[in-house]
Amino acid sequence: MQDKRCGSLPSAQTQPIEQAIFNLLLAEDHPWRLEDLQRELGRPACLVLICVERLKADGLVEQNGETIRASRAAIRAEELAI
């Protein structure tokens, strides 16, 4: 069942959460699960999922089964300080 707090959200509302997820994935180079991100951020699971899906669509994160990590391109961009 979908959490009523999530529904359809404009990117302006999710951007700070997307940024927090992205920063966690870059700072700690290990695979994360959605549940771990939810717990770390204290946000509803559906909201974390929406943000991860948006980051995936942008090519910034990769998902392999239940694990999520920063994409190689995102890591390289951070190294180059882009």
Residue 62 structure tokens: 């990769």
**Domain residue spans in the chain?**
14-79
pLDDT of residue 53: 94
Check: pTM over 0.75? Answer yes or no: yes
**CATH architecture group of domain 14-79:** Orthogonal Bundle (1.10)
pLDDT digits (tens, 9 = 90+) for 3-54: 456 667 777 888 999 999 999 999 987 899 999 999 999 999 999 999 999 9
What's the count of helices (H) and strands (E) in the chain, helices before strands?
A: 4, 3
Rounded to an integer, the average pLDDT of 45-65 is 94
